[in-house]
Amino acid sequence: MLHGREDAQPVEDSDHVSPHRRHIFGRDLKSWMEKAFPNEKPSFLFDDIEKNSHSAITADSYRSLKADRDALQKRVDKAVDEFKILRQEKETIELERDALRAMQDKLPPENEHNDDSVFLNSTYWNGLSKLASQAVNDYPNWKSTQKRIQKTGNLQDWLTNDIQADNREAEIIKKILSDFFQELR
Q: How far apart are CA 169 and CA 163, in angstroms?
A: 10
Amino acid at 14: S
pLDDT, mean of residues 40-50: 79
Does this model's pTM top 0.75?
A: no
Q: How far apart are CA 5 and CA 22, in angstroms?
A: 5
- Reported as a single tens digit per residue, the pLDDT across 121-171 is 888 888 899 999 999 999 999 989 988 888 888 889 999 999 999 999 999
Q: How many CA atoms lie within 13 A of 53 on its CB side?
A: 18
For residue 23, what are the β-bridge partners? 4
Distance of CA 173 to the CA centre of its chain: 47
Q: How far apart are CA 114 and CA 106, in angstroms?
A: 13
Q: What is the predicted pLDDT for the residue at 184?
A: 83
- Reported as a single tens digit per residue, the pLDDT across 86-111 is 999 999 999 999 999 998 888 876 65
Q: What is the predicted pLDDT for the residue at 84?
A: 96
Instruction: State the greatest distance between any 2 C-alpha atoms of the chain, in Å, as a whole number.
Output: 134
Percent of the chain with pLDDT over 90: 31
The secondary structure of residue 3, as a DSSP letter, is E
**CA distances (Å), origin 120, targets 39, 157, 175:** 98, 29, 22
- Reported as a single tens digit per residue, the pLDDT across 60-94 is 888 888 999 999 999 999 999 999 999 999 999 99
Number of H helices, E strands in the chain: 6, 2
- Reported as a single tens digit per residue, the pLDDT across 22-37 is 787 778 888 888 788 8
Q: What is the predicted pLDDT for the residue at 43?
A: 83
pLDDT, mean of residues 36-45: 81
Q: How far apart are CA 140 and CA 134, in angstroms?
A: 11
Q: What is the predicted pLDDT for the residue at 113?
A: 53
Q: What is the predicted pLDDT for the residue at 148?
A: 87
Alpha helix stretches (DSSP H) within 21-122: 26-36, 48-52, 59-106
114 pLDDT higher than 60: no
